[in-house]
Structure 1
Amino acid sequence: MTHRILIVEDEPSIAELIAINLSHAGFEVEKAMQTEIALVSMREQLPSLVILDWMLPGKSGVQFAKELRANERTRSLPILMLTAKSEEADKVLGLDSGADDYVTKPFSLKELVARVNALLRRQTPSQESGPLAVGPIRLDPVSHRATAVWPNEQPKIIPLGPTEYRLLQFLMSNPERVHSRTNLLDQVWGSEVYIEERTVDVHIKRLRAALAPVDCDRFIETVRGSGYRITKTPTHT
């Protein structure tokens, strides 16, 4: 299957350069200079991944990413954010908005293509394991769906972005074990992708936020000085 990439970038020269390199890498590419045009394209057909510039006319990439994550249809859409902002606080804001990864300008086109490939690999549902369960949390790799199943209650869907799903899947596959940030980066993001350990903290925060409405966030525990784990017996009730 050929993946279709939507580039939302208002600088034509940058958009064209990215498009040419992605086309050479075997992707179908579509370009949009602003979010309104991107939305029209998405209504017709969802892309496999969105490359989203931070600074856009009318509506910023950060705001657009938040809207995509709040929409059921686009919640699981991988988002790679482009930004000229290189400060840690700016990167965290981009990830907090819903981006799965970021690349700072100026960037290497080879690195950009590598990150696109890595995001798409992580998006592919794993067929290797069966359904997983930790406490009330259930995860089905085939349907790519997470649910909360409490006694005497109807199962409730847990809305997860693609990275949060992969993170939860790895934690549930290895319950009660403490995983360092470095280990989580290698296992969830891939050892070939070079991003900061702080990225893990941002996505753990997003995972807990998704679990909180169904009272499951307490099953993800922080082990001070070591990392994170998922437990069947949380210390906080």
Structure 2
Amino acid sequence: MSRIFVLEDQEESYFLIKRAVDNQHSLTWVKTIAEAMQTFNKDFDLALIDIELPDGDGFQFCDWIRAQKATSSIPIMFISAKGAVESRITGFSIGGDDYITKPFNIVELKARIEAKLRWKNRDIDHVLGAEGISLDLRAQHVQIQNQLDSKWSTLDLTPIEFKILNLFLNEPNKALSRDEILNKIWGDGVYVYPRSVDTHVSKLRSKLGEKSGYIKSVHGVGYKFSTENEPDDAIEDHIPSSKMTVLYHDKDLAKSVTASSG
């Protein structure tokens, strides 16, 4: 039985969450950020967070969770009546793993909760690496090794940069389109300009320093992570068009689809 933390000030919403969980997991319920900071700890397997709260917003609490070493890797799902695309983007950008809008479908919420718990409980090595790069999923930090003195230093990455590097390390030597990166980092149906990927990758490369060359531009596609010595921006596009993911690049359409899916 997993332990789920619920920060929700509305009793009706909490009881709907309780129905979705259906006694399969243990719930701890608090109504304010102040209570949450006193109660939340590393033993929880998932955090469900409302955004509009009596003493602040759920984004603040998400920041607090991610800033604590002991809790930084716990999955976070936002549950909110705020269905605007901007709110969703903020949620993912500060380290949220999922976002569902009220009123929600109980069956869908249950499926999303189980999916997050399966990911959390997978028996996998929590440290990923490449030559001179180490990414710790539990501690949520990245270290790089200096080629001259072999010393390791910790990088200060944003949650989005951390997720992008995690994606690259999990799929080395694979050409990833911008749309594919968008879907895997921000989620389906969330409107983000495709070129936003370029901005975040550029900042990540800058922070990687002498290891920046591992992230290679793939002409006509996007990026791939490789420690092999090969020319940047000169890799052929081998991704079939049928495999490409379609996003809603029309902002009004994205808002409409997002609202209807919530």
Q: TM-score, normalised by structure 2?
A: 0.67
Which of the residues 79, 92, 108 maps onto 2:76? Answer: 79
Which of the residues 226, 231, 234 maps onto 2:221? Answer: 226
SS of the aligned residue for 1:29 comes to strand
CA apart distance, 1:89: 1.6
| Bigger CA radius of gyration | 2
Report if aligned partners of 1:7, 1:31 keep a CA contact under 8 Å in 2. yes
Partner of 1:40: 38
Q: Deviations over 1:149-179 (max 9, x none)?
A: 2221422356889997776455224323212
Report if aligned partners of 1:76, 1:162 keep a CA contact under 8 Å in 2. no
> Cα gap change, 1:210/1:34 in structure 2, threshold over 3 Å: closer, same or farther?
farther
Partner of 2:26: 28
Partner of 1:108: 105
One-letter code aligned to 1:136 = G
CA apart distance, 1:20: 3.0
> Cα gap change, 1:100/1:207 in structure 2, threshold over 3 Å: closer, same or farther?
farther
Partner of 1:62: 59
One-letter code aligned to 1:179 = L
CA distance in 2, matches of 1:206, 1:37: 35
CA apart distance, 1:203: 9.2
Q: Deviations over 1:115-157 (max 9, x none)?
A: 1111222223553899641x42235789997532222142235
Instruction: Structure 2: state its 5+ residue gaps.
Output: 234-262
CA distance in 2, matches of 1:100, 1:158: 21
Q: TM-score, normalised by structure 1?
A: 0.73
Report if aligned partners of 1:126, 1:142 keep a CA contact under 8 Å in 2. no
CA distance in 2, matches of 1:65, 1:200: 24
Which of the residues 182, 189, 199 maps onto 1:196? Answer: 189
SS of the aligned residue for 2:52 comes to coil
CA distance in 2, matches of 1:203, 1:75: 24
> Cα gap change, 1:173/1:77 in structure 2, threshold over 3 Å: closer, same or farther?
closer
> Cα gap change, 1:221/1:87 in structure 2, threshold over 3 Å: closer, same or farther?
farther
One-letter code aligned to 2:34 = E
> Cα gap change, 1:225/1:52 in structure 2, threshold over 3 Å: closer, same or farther?
farther
One-letter code aligned to 1:100 = D
Partner of 2:17: 18
